Amino acid sequence: MVLFSLFPRETMASHIFFLLLMLFFTHVSASSSSDTSQLFRTWCDHHGKTYSSDEERTYRLKVFQDNYDYVQRHNQMPDSSYTLSLNAFADLTHQEFKASRLASRSSSFLRFSNPQRRFSNDNDNYNNILRQVPSSIDWRNEGAVTPVKDQGSCGACWSFSATGAIEGINKIVTGSLESLSEQELVDCDKKYNSGCEGGLMDYAYQFIIDNKGIDTESDYPYLTHEATCNKDKMKRRVVTIDGYTDVPSNNEKKLLEAVATQPVSVGICGSERAFQLYSKGIFTGPCSTALDHAVLIVGYGSENGVDYWIVKNSWGTSWGMNGYIHMVRNNGTQGICGINMLASYPTKTSPNPPPPPPPGPTKCNLFTYCPAGETCCCARRILGFCFSYKCCGLESAVCCKDNSHCCPQDYPICDITNGQCLKRVANGTTTTAYENKDSIRRSRGWSSG
C-alpha cells in the first residue's frame, strides 16, 4: 500500500503560487495590514496550514508579517547573490524554527563543538582519489541521489546525511539506487548517536558496518519521531558499506576531490535566519562556523564566475530550490557556514548481500496468524485478555479502540467519527488527515484465538 507523501514533487499549483508571490513582492513596496493578511490567507491555503484558535492565527500572522518584512528587505539588496521567500516555514519565528529543525545546542546534537573522529578509517583512501577533477559534477544527473526527504521536527539530519552518502556510493558501485532507512538509525543507533536529539555521520557509518548493513526506507519507513528499535528490520541488511573516510578538516581541495568521486556528508551552520527562508541563488551568508546541521554535497559548479557547492538538505521540497541550496565555494579555509570543517564519506567495494526472503505470516497468538505485512488487532477483549483478532492490511499499524479499524503508523490518531487517520504536524496545534480513498481501514479476516 502506497502512503500519501507530505512533500510531493512541485506541481503546477506550486508554480502559480510562487508566481503570485513574486508579483506581490514586485508591486507592493510597503505592505499594508490588509495586503499581508490576504497574502497570509493565500499562503495558508497553499501550504495547508490551519490553527487551533483565532489567537494562534493572529500570532502566526504577526510572525508571518515579520518574516515578510525580513524577506523583502533582503531581496531589495542590489548586490545579493541569493533570494529569500515565504516558504513553508514563514509562520515560525527564527527561534521556533531552530528548535524544530536543529535541536538544542546543549544536547549531543552532532557533537560538532568538539568533533572526535573515533571511528576514522583513513586507509590511505586519498591515494586512490583522482587529483584531476572535472570542472563541475552533479551526482543527480548520474542517478546517484534519491528524492529530497523531510526530517520534520526531529533533529535527525545526521541520519539523512549519512543515508544520502551511502545511497550515492551504493549506486556508483552496484548500479542500483536504494532509498535507505533513516528510521533504523534513529531507533537503533544508540551507542553514540541520540536519535532526534542529534548524532554524527561517522557514528552512523560505524553502526551500519557493525550491523553488516541497513534496511530500505520502504521496509522501515521514517516517522519523524523516535520509536522502539525493530530488531527484525535491523536484520534485513539490503545495502552494506566497508568503511568510511574523514576528509581532512579545512581542506577544500581534498573535499573537492572527494565530491568528484561520490556524494559527501558535511556539517554546516544551518541556524541563520536567511537559511530558514532561503529560496534560490548562491548562498553567501552571513553565517557562523558553529556547526549545528548535517547535509549532503551532491556536486559542484560555477555560475558567472562564482563557484558553488550543490547541497541536498532534509527539509522537504518546499524549502530552497526543491530542497537544494547552492553554497558559495572557495570562500576561505573553513568554507561558507563551516562546510569544509567536518566532511566524511562511506567506502564500498563489496557487493550487497542477496535479497532477504519475504517476511512470513504475522503471529497474533499461539493459534492465530495474519498474512505477511499485516498487523494483528484485537477484536474482542475480556478482562484484559484478547480472545479474537482481526487482520489490518497495513504493516506496523495502529489499532483503533473500536476494535474494528486501524491506521498507518505515521498517521496514528484514529478519528472514528469522521473515518480518518490523523497526525500532528507543525508545532502540535493542528492535525492533518491521511489522504487515501480508504483513509481509516476496517480490520478484516476475523480469526478466533
The rounded distance, in Å, linking the Cα atoms of 439 and 417 is 12
The rounded distance, in Å, linking the Cα atoms of 343 and 262 is 12
The three grid cell numbers given for residue 361, joined into one nine-digit string: 505470516
What pTM was computed for the model? 0.76
Model pLDDT, residue 441: 58
Q: Which residues does the chain have with pLDDT short of 50?
A: 1-20, 22-31, 104-130, 426-430, 435-439, 444-449
One-letter amino acid at 402 equals: D
Model pLDDT, residue 21: 52
Catalytic residue among 154, 157, 337, 406: 157
Question: Where exactly are the structural domains of the chain?
Answer: 12-91, 98-347, 362-448
One-letter amino acid at 329 equals: R
* DSSP secondary structure letters along 286-317: ---S---EEEEEEEEEEETTEEEEEEE-SB-T
The rounded distance, in Å, linking the Cα atoms of 255 and 129 is 11
Catalytic residue among 313, 391, 399, 405: 313
Quickly count: other Cβ atoms within 10 Å of residue 78's Cβ.
Answer: 4
Phi, psi of 78 (to 5 degrees): -70, -20
Model pLDDT, residue 423: 78
Model pLDDT, residue 9: 33
State how far the alpha carbon of 223 is from the alpha carbons of 187, 412, 421, in Å: 10, 10, 15
Is 15 an active-site residue? no
The rounded distance, in Å, linking the Cα atoms of 207 and 203 is 6
Is 405 an active-site residue? no
Residues 98-347, CATH architecture: Alpha-Beta Complex (3.90)
Written out in words, the top-level CATH class of the domain with range 12-91 is mainly alpha
Cβ atoms 158, 201 nearer than 8 A: yes
Model pLDDT, residue 412: 87
Is 364 an active-site residue? no
The rounded distance, in Å, linking the Cα atoms of 339 and 332 is 10
